[in-house]
């Protein structure tokens, strides 16, 4: 019997391993008549605010129009590795302590035309001369074909690097990381010609930003075709109606906004708001959901779809997949990053109370929202709380570097009495 959990692409191996192990063990022993399959597609650096989804018609047709799209889905750290670890573990970065990206790097990870991949413990294989999205598409369809021949439910994860910037192996030198515009497939190089035909601008930076934006949209065309191929094969196998398909990105992106060059890591909505589409059994087609959701909610959601009890260390909760869902709906998002942002200094964020703050701040009162907390009766309590300050900034979650901690609750005394 072939493995029921398939991985294709560049997933965060340590974080994904725990989810993979649980899914394997639970799905293997499931006694349900026909438990669902799950296909998870995660792009790299794909924005929502810059309207990239409008240029992926196949994704719109297969996912956005056939399932629920989440307009307020946020990442909790706008950087590849920390975001993915939080996604697969369902925990905030300050609880995983994966807070930044540091060398050594795999020099071939983001090389569009010189990728190297490794399956299990097999020797690495170079695909120099082939476009990475074509390679990932071929591998993903191969894994899906293996899964479809078995009788057990399957989980397929697909992680193309598009539209992340291109990084050639030779660019990883002593002078630091050198990133260039993403490289589209040859068949997509003339896509979005209306941008090319606009009157030329004099500012060289604006010209470069236009080029960079166009390159990202071109690079996404291969991902658009990848999703089309996955959905088509599932439909041919009569498994589409019993499969949940989840599509998202690890973080967003900015190009020129806030006077910044192309990049991410910031707390601006361009960097933290990302696409999220989910289609599958019981999900209405063409629904737009405005609830606030985050990446740390995705692992709990996958557990729920697979019939797995949630882990006690999850920071997130299962996402409401229908308007009638009774799942928890959040009103806030905890966004954190401990590292250097492009032209924005160093960011940090406090707290072990960031997921359910009202329960900690008001343990004995009916306060469950910002509106409740703004009631006049609480003014004195908030006035007396210590102000946030920073003596220094570190690259990880170190409690002594996090500034004032909560020392009393609404009723005075130590927090240990209440939490």
Interval 19-32: pLDDT, tens? 555 555 555 544 44
Same domain, 42 and 164: yes
Same domain, 241 and 374: no
**Which residue among 275, 291, 326 closes a domain?**
326
String of DSSP letters for 176-241: EE--B-----GGGTT-SHHHHTSPPPS-HHHHHHHHHHHHHHHHHHHHHHHHHHHHHHHHHTT-GG
Which tokens in the block code for residue 138?
Answer: 């071929």
Which tokens in the block code for residue 79?
Answer: 């950087």
The predicted structure's pLDDT at residue 333: 83
**What confidence tier does 359 reach under pLDDT thresholds 50, 70, 90?**
confident
* pLDDT above 60 for 64: yes
**Domains: count for the chain:** 2
pLDDT digits (tens, 9 = 90+) for 264-275: 888 888 999 999
Beta-bridge mates of residue 189? none
* pLDDT above 50 for 345: no
Backbone φ and ψ for 87, nearest 5 degrees, come out as -60, -50
Q: Which of 190-199, 215-224, 386-395 has the highest mean pLDDT?
A: 215-224
Residue written as token pair 């669902």: 36
For residue 407, is it within any domain?
yes
Same domain, 116 and 148: yes
The predicted structure's pLDDT at residue 20: 58
For residue 72, is it within any domain?
yes
Same domain, 222 and 152: yes
> End-to-end distance of the chain based on CA atoms, in angstroms?
48
Contact by Cβ (8 Å): 18, 89: yes
For residue 322, is it within any domain?
yes
Same domain, 322 and 355: no
* pLDDT above 50 for 416: no
Contact by Cβ (8 Å): 291, 320: yes
Mention every residue, 6+ apart, whose C-beta is less than 8 A from residue 381. 410
Contact by Cβ (8 Å): 100, 108: no
Same domain, 236 and 92: yes
* pLDDT above 70 for 178: yes
Mention every residue, 6+ apart, whose C-beta is less than 8 A from residue 86. 75, 76, 77, 92, 93, 96, 98, 295, 296
For residue 274, is it within any domain?
yes
Same domain, 387 and 321: no
**Crossing angle for the helix pair 80-89 and 298-305, to the nearest 10 degrees:** 40
Q: Can you tell me the mean pLDDT for 71-93?
A: 93
Same domain, 72 and 27: yes
For residue 338, is it within any domain?
no
Provide the 3-class DSSP secondary structure of residue 31. coil
Whole-number Å distance between alpha carbons of 96 and 15: 9
Give Cα 410 distance to the centre of its chain. Answer: 36
Identify which of 123, 107, 115, 117 has the alpha carbon closest to the alpha carbon of residue 142. 117
Identify which of 250, 246, 188, 194 has the alpha carbon closest to the alpha carbon of residue 217. 188
pLDDT digits (tens, 9 = 90+) for 3-14: 344 444 544 444
Which domain, by its residues, includes 391?
350-419
For residue 182, is it within any domain?
yes
Same domain, 21 and 129: yes
Mention every residue, 6+ apart, whose C-beta is less than 8 A from residue 9. 42, 136, 139, 140, 157, 158, 159, 160
Same domain, 356 and 256: no
Q: Can you tell me the mean pLDDT for 73-98?
A: 93
Q: Can you tell me the mean pLDDT for 285-302?
A: 92
Q: Can you tell me the mean pLDDT for 240-257?
A: 92
**Which residue among 326, 341, 369 closes a domain?**
326
pLDDT digits (tens, 9 = 90+) for 297-342: 999 999 999 999 999 999 999 998 877 777 767 777 888 887 765 4
For residue 336, is it within any domain?
no
pTM attached to this predicted model: 0.69
Per-chain mean pLDDT for the chain: 80
The predicted structure's pLDDT at residue 331: 75
Mention every residue, 6+ apart, whose C-beta is less than 8 A from residue 235. none
For residue 339, is it within any domain?
no
Provide the 3-class DSSP secondary structure of residue 156. strand
Same domain, 383 and 291: no
The CA dihedral of 253, 77, 347, 107, to the nearest 10 degrees, is -70
Residue 397 burial (10 A CB sphere; 0-12, 13-18, 19+): buried
In this structure, what CATH number is given to the domain that contains residue 320? 3.40.720.10
Same domain, 140 and 274: yes
Question: Which residue would you say has higher pLDDT here, 1 or 146?
Answer: 146
């Amino acid at each position: 019997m072939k493995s029921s959990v398939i991985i294709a692409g560049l997933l965060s191996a340590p974080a994904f391993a725990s989810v993979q192990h649980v899914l394997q063990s639970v799905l293997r022993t499931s006694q349900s008549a026909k438990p669902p399959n799950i296909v998870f597609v995660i792009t790299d650096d794909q924005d929502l605010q810059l309207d990239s989804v409008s240029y992926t018609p196949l994704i719109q047709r297969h996912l956005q129009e056939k399932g629920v799209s989440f307009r307020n889905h946020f990442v909790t750290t706008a950087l590849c590795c920390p975001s993915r670890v939080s996604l697969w573990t369902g925990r905030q970065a300050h609880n995983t302590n994966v807070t930044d990206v540091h060398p050594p790097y795999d020099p071939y990870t983001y090389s569009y035309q010189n990728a190297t991949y490794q399956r299990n413990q097999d020797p690495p294989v170079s695909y120099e001369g082939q476009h990475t999205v074509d390679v990932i598409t071929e591998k993903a369809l191969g894994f899906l074909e293996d899964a479809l021949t078995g009788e057990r439910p399957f989980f397929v994860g697909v992680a193309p690097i598009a539209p992340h910037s291109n990084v050639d192996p030779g660019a990883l030198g002593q002078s630091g990381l050198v990133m260039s515009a993403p490289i589209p497939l040859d068949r997509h190089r003339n896509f979005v010609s209306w941008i090319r035909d606009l009157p030329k601008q004099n500012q060289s930076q604006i010209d470069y930003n236009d080029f960079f934006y166009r390159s990202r949209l071109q690079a996404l065309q291969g991902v658009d075709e990848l999703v089309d191929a996955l959905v088509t094969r599932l439909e041919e196998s009569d498994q589409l109606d019993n499969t949940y398909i989840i599509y998202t990105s690890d973080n967003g992106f900015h190009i020129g906004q806030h006077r910044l060059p192309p990049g991410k890591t910031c707390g601006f909505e361009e960097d933290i708001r990302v696409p999220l589409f989910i289609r599958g059994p019981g999900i209405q087609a063409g629904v737009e959901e405005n609830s606030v959701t985050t990446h740390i909610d995705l692992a709990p959601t996958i557990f729920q779809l697979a019939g797995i009890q949630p882990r006690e260390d999850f920071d997130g909760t299962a996402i409401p997949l229908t308007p009638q869902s009774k799942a928890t709906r959040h009103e806030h998002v905890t966004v954190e990053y401990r590292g250097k942002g492009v032209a924005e200094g160093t960011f940090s964020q406090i707290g072990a109370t960031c997921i359910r703050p009202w329960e900690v701040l008001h343990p004995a009162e009916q306060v469950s929202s910002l509106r409740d907390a703004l009631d006049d009766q609480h003014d004195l309590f908030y006035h007396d709380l210590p102000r946030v300050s920073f003596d220094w900034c570190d690259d990880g979650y170190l409690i002594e570097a996090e500034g004032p901690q909560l020392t009393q609750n609404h009723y005075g005394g130590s927090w240990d009495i209440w939490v």
